[in-house]
Amino acid sequence: MLLLSCEDTKESSNTFETLKNDILLRSGTLCELKPDPGPCRAAIPRYYFDQKTKQCKQFFWGGCNGTAPFKTMEECMNACE
């Protein structure tokens, strides 16, 4: 069994997240994702669209796994508002 730390998977995880987000954005579901900081402990600012308030909001992503729909507020606003 191969175990990887969050640091070991950082680059491949970012590539995967980018591809996943492209697919979700094209399908129209990226704005529906709820934020999930994931198991890692970094505090990276990320953004999501709050379905209740119909506004983009900031949260802190842990750096691996989880759900971090947008890297910038501008990306979120352009896609969802």
CATH number at residue 46: 4.10.410.10
Contact 69/46 with Cβ under 8 angstroms? yes
Residue 63 burial (CB count, 10 A): 22
- How many domains does the structure of the chain reveal? 1
Give the single-character DSSP code of 34. P
pLDDT level of residue 81 (50, 70, 90 thresholds): confident
Per-residue pLDDT of 15-53, as tens digits, reads 666 666 666 556 557 899 999 999 999 999 999 999 999
* 1 falls within a domain: no
Residue with tokens 């640091």, as numbered in its chain = 7
Q: What is the mean pLDDT of the chain?
A: 80
* 76 falls within a domain: yes
